[in-house]
Amino acid sequence: MQDEYRTVARAGVHETEINRSRFLCALAPAATEQEAQEFIAAVRKEHADATHNCWAYVIGADASVQKASDDGEPGGTAGVPMLQMLLRRDMRYVVAVVTRYYGGVKLGAGGLIRAYGGAVGEALEEVGTLTRRRFRLATVTVDHQRAGKIQNDLRATGREVRDVRYDEAVTIEIGLPDADVDAFRGWLADVTAGSAGFELGGEAYGDA
């Protein structure tokens, strides 16, 4: 698994004009290929009167799914440059749709490649990106007396507290970088005099 990846901070649209053609790049995070395709369908419906709705998406922290479409533009002049821009910026779990309203001036193959790739690059700057890092999920179990202090200490040291459950004991679910697991185990034993339970779970991604 990748240790980290970048994705878009939110959904958003950025518009640019080149030789009287309007290019609207819509970006959105997409956890699955189906989500990406649903977003593309929604944009196509919204801009059904556009000359082209070209798209590209990258799914998977390791970019295992990469797809693109020129939607009627000359082969390789739209979807591929869009996809290349996403990959060049290390973007994952993201979908981009560039809607073109033709303005009467032909751009030529090179111009189209620059226009579609550039529209995605500008939209990424405008919408903003964030880095998500791989964590090991871990569960800490402590008595009620120590729970408050442990939670405060965790937050003060920048640990990600994902969930807290109160039962006979208090269960705190956290995310830890792999490299920190041993040190954390030692710290927990020190501050709770060895009374806390600690269990490692699976892996997940969280905001870095």
Chain centre distance of CA 118: 20
What are the CA-CA distances from residue 105 to residues 112, 120, 183 (Å)? 11, 21, 63
Q: How far apart are CA 98 and CA 74, in angstroms?
A: 15
- pTM of the shown model: 0.75
Cα–Cα distance for residue pair 201/175, rounded to 1 Å: 10
Structure tokens at 165: 């459950």
Read off the pLDDT of residues 132-161 as tens digits, 9 standing for 90 and up.
Answer: 888 888 999 999 999 999 999 888 888 878
Q: What pLDDT is stored for residue 96 in this prediction?
A: 98
Integer Rg of the chain from CA: 23
d(CA 64, CA 92): 10
CA distances from 37 to 34, 59, 67, 95, 176 (A): 5, 11, 10, 8, 33
Residue 30 dihedral angles phi and psi, to the nearest 5°: -145, 115
List the pLDDT tens digit at each of the 208 positions of the chain: 567 889 999 999 999 999 999 999 999 999 999 999 999 999 999 999 999 999 999 999 889 999 999 999 999 999 999 999 999 999 999 999 999 999 999 999 999 999 999 999 999 999 999 998 888 889 999 999 999 999 998 888 888 788 999 999 999 999 888 788 999 999 999 989 999 999 988 877 776 5
Distance from CA of residue 52 to its chain's centroid? 26
Looking at residue 51, its pLDDT comes to: 96
pLDDT at 28: 97
Q: Enter the tokens of residue 146.
A: 């120590």
52 membership: H or E segment, kind and range: strand 52-59
Q: pLDDT at position 186, please?
A: 93
